[in-house]
A and B are shown apart, each in its own frame.
Chain A
Amino acid sequence: MLFNSLDFAVFLPLVFGIYWLLKNYHLKYQNTFLLLSSYVFYGWWDWRFLMLIAFSTIVDFIIGNLLFKAEKSFKRKILLSLSLVVNLGLLGFFKYFNFFIDNVNQVFSFLGKPLELRGLEIILPVGISFYTFQTLSYTLDIYHKKLKPTNNFMAFAGFVSFFPQLVAGPIERAKNLLPQFKTIRVFNKQKAIDGLRQILWGLFKKIVIADQCALIVNDCFSNPEAYNPLTLVFGAFFFAIQIYGDFSGYSDIAIGTARLFGFDLMKNFAFPYFSRNIAEFWRRWHISLSTWFRDYVYIPLGGSKGTKAMVVRNIFAVFLISALWHGANWTFIIWGLIHALCYVPLLFFNTTRTYTDTVAVNRLLPNLKELLSILFTFILTTLAWIFFRAETLSHAFNYLDAIWSESIWQIPNFVNNMMAFTTFLLVGFMLATEWIAREHNFALEKLATNWKRPLRWTFYYLLILSIFYFFGSEQEFIYFQF
C-alpha cells in the first residue's frame, strides 16, 4: 500500500480508530492488531512476500535468544553467522543474483570463453533491504552485548514489520523501537497533531514537489540528446530535488504516522541540502542508514582509528557497501565512489566534523562563505545523482556529454516551459520553508504554530489543496525499489 494512495487514506483512519479503542484492553491486543495491520499493509502489494518477513522474524527472534544464552565464543559466532547467512542470503538472492550472473557472463565473455549463464525472473520484495538491516542490527547488537533479546514475540514481530517504516525506513534500532512496543502507549493530542502536520508536509514534498519534478526529470533522462545543456542541468537539479522530496517526504509521513500511534521513530533527514560539505551532507541524509553503516561497518573496520590509509580504506568500504545496498548496478557504485572521493580530502584536512551545528544559527540568511559552501556541496551531490538516476553507465555519460557538448548559455527547451516554471516556484517555496525551519525536526514543526487559527488553517488548507491539485496517478516512492 502506498502512503500517497486512496487505499491508505482509508486504511490509516480505520487502523488508528481501532488501535486506540483497544487501549483499554491488554497491550498485547494492541500489538497484535498493529502486527496484523502491518501485514495487511505489506500484503497489499504481494501477500506471498509476507512469508519472507515472517521467516526473517522467526529466525532472528530464535537466534537472538540463543545468542544471549550461549556463552562459548564459537557457538556465538556460529549463531551470528547463521543470522547473517539467512538475512544476507535472502537479500543477496533477491537483489544481487542477476547482477552477479550478468557480471560473470561479461567477465568470461571478455576472456573469450562465453558462459551464457541465464538469470532468473526475480521480483524484488518491497522494502527487503530495509527490514533485513533492521533485523540484522538486532542480532548484531545482541552479539556485541549491547542489547538484551526480547521474549515477547508479538513485540519483536511488531518491531520488524511496523507498517509506517516497514518498506522504506527509517531503519530503526531495536534499542529505540522495541521498548516502545513493550510499554503502554498513551494518546497525546499534541503529539498526534504534530504527527498530522508532519504527514501533511511529507505528502506535499512527495506529491507536489517530487512527482512534479519527476515529469521534467523523466523527459530529460529519457532522451538527453533532445535537450540543450542548460535544460539538462535543470534536469539534474530537479532530480536532486525529486529524490529529496520523495524520500524525505516518505520519511516524514512514516514518522508522522508512527506518532499517531504513540511511537517515536528516529529522524531520517535534517535538511541535507543546506550542508556545507559532504561529511555534513552524510550526517543529514538518510541518517538511519548512515548511522547503521557507521555502527556496523565503519567502526568494526577500525573507524577513524589507525593510519590515514586505513581510514581511507574504511571510508571507501562504507561508500561501496552503501552503493550496493541501493542496487545491483554499476551506476550506484560510481555514485558511491564520487561521494567517497569527495569525502577523502575532508579527512586529510581534518574537516569532517567542522560543521556539526545548523547553518546560520540565529540569522535569517547565510554569509557568503556559507552560501558558497552550500552551493558547492549541492553541485557535487547533484553531479553524483546523475549516475544514481541513470539506468546504465553509458546513459549517465551520455547525459554528461550532452551537457558539455554545446554552450550552456541557451534558453532552456523544456517540453512544457510553463510547467517547468511552476515547478521551479514550488521548489523555491519548499526550500524557503525548510530554510526557515532548518533548526527543527521538520518544516512544519514550529512554522505557523503561533499564527492565529484562521491564518494557520488557511495555510494548511492551501497545502492540502495543492496536494489535491497535483495528485495524479499514485506514483511509487523511489526508495521502494531498494
Chain B
Amino acid sequence: MKGFLRYILLFLMPLLVLLIAMEIFLQSIPNNYKVKSNYIEKHSEAIETLILGNSHTYYGLNPEWMDQQSFNMSHVSQSFDIDLAILKHYLPKMTQLNTVVIRLSYDSMFETLSETNEHWRYKDYALYTNIPLEYYWKHHSEILSISFKENLKRIYKYYLKSEASVTCNPFGWGMDAHSSQAKDLYKTGALVAKKHTATSKNLFDDNFKTLKEIADLCLQNKVDVIMVTPPAFESYYLNLNYQQLEATVNTGLELANQYDHVSYYNFLEYWRFDREHFFDADHLNERGALLFSKMINDIIHK
C-alpha cells in the first residue's frame, strides 16, 4: 500500500504543482469583486446611497452622476438573497447611509444565483469578498469553480495579452457595456426575454420574503428603499410573459404600499430610453446609464 501511495503521489506531483500554480495565478488577477470589496470596506462609513442588484443596475447606474456619496455594489446575476447578505454585513458600519436603490427586474422574483447555471459566480464572493453566504466547498477555489479551458483563457488574456481584468469604475459601475460594442437589439431581445421567463414560481415566495427582510432591515436603520424596474428595449419587453411581469410589478407596488420608506418606480417601457441608450436589449450603455443615473438621483432628492 505504501508503495502504491508513493507511486501515485509521485505521478500526481507535476499535476498538483500545475494546478496550484494556476490557482495562485488566477487568484492574483485583479477583478471587480476584489475592487468593490476593498472600496466598501474602506469607505463604508461615508456611503450615503448604496446600489444593489444584478447586471441591470451594475451597467445602468453610475454613482459618479449622483450627488450623494454613492456606491454600486451590484454584480452580474446577483440575486436578492445576496443583496440581503451584503446589507446585513455592511449596514452596521454604514453610518451615513440614507438610501438603498434596488432593482426589481422581470426575472428577479423568480430566481436566485444558486438555482441558475451561473452559480459558479459564488466563488467570486467566497474568494474576494467578506460577504457571508452559504458557500459550497468548490467555491473556495478558482480551478474547481470554472472550467480548465476558461481558466487557461483568463490566464492567457491577463498575463500574456495584458488585457484589463477590472471592468468597473472606482464607484462600482460596469464600464464594459459600451455603445461602441453594442449588440443587435432585436436579436438579443426575444432570446433574453425567453431566457428570463421563469419555468416555475417556486422561488417567488422566498424572494418576496427576502425583499421584506431588506425592507424591515432598512426600516430599523432609517434607510429609504427605492425599488426600480430598469428600462429595456422594446424587443425585450414586448416578448415578456404578462403574468410574470404583472407579478413583478405588483410586488413593487405592494411593498411600496406596505412600507412608508419604500418607493417603487417602473422604467421598463419609459419613453426617454431609445435604441441609442442600450448595449443590448436589457442592458443600458454608458449613455443610458448617464440618463438613468440622473433620473434616480432626482428621485433620491425628492
A interface, CB within 8 angstroms of B: 6, 20, 187, 189, 192-193, 196, 457, 460-461, 464, 468-473
Contacts and interface: CB of A to CB of B under 8 A. Distances in A.
A469 B144 contact: no
Nearest to B146: A472
Contact of B4 (A193, A460, A468, A473): A193
Interface in B1-37: 1, 3-4, 7-8, 11, 14-15
A193 B8 CA distance: 9
Contact of A472 (B8, B11, B14, B147): B147
Contacts of B3: 189
Interface of B: 1, 3-4, 7-8, 11, 14-15, 117, 138, 144, 147-149, 152
28 contacts: A6-B144, A20-B1, A187-B1, A187-B4, A189-B1, A189-B3, A189-B4, A189-B7, A192-B4, A193-B4, A193-B7, A196-B8, A457-B11, A460-B11, A461-B14, A461-B15, A464-B15, A468-B148, A469-B148, A469-B149, A469-B152, A470-B149, A471-B147, A471-B148, A472-B147, A472-B149, A473-B117, A473-B147
Contacts of A460: 11
A461 to B, nearest CB: 7
Contacts of A193: 4, 7
Contacts, number: 29
B222 to A, nearest CB: 45
A291 B147 CA distance: 40
B138 A6 contact: yes
A470 B148 CA distance: 8
A457 B12 CA distance: 10
A6 B146 CA distance: 12
A174 B4 CA distance: 30
Contacts of A461: 14-15
Given A187-B4, A189-B1, A460-B11, 15 more contacts: A6-B144, A189-B7, A192-B4, A193-B7, A196-B8, A461-B15, A464-B15, A468-B148, A469-B148, A469-B149, A469-B152, A470-B149, A471-B147, A472-B147, A472-B149
Contacts of A187: 1, 4
Q: Which 6 A-B pairs have the closest CB atoms?
A: A468-B148, A189-B4, A472-B147, A187-B1, A469-B149, A469-B148
Contacts of B147: 471-473
Contacts of A472: 147, 149
A6 B14 CA distance: 19
A475 to B, nearest CB: 12
A461 B12 CA distance: 9
Contacts of A469: 148-149, 152
Contacts of A457: 11
Contacts of A471: 147-148
Nearest to B147: A472
A189 B149 CA distance: 33
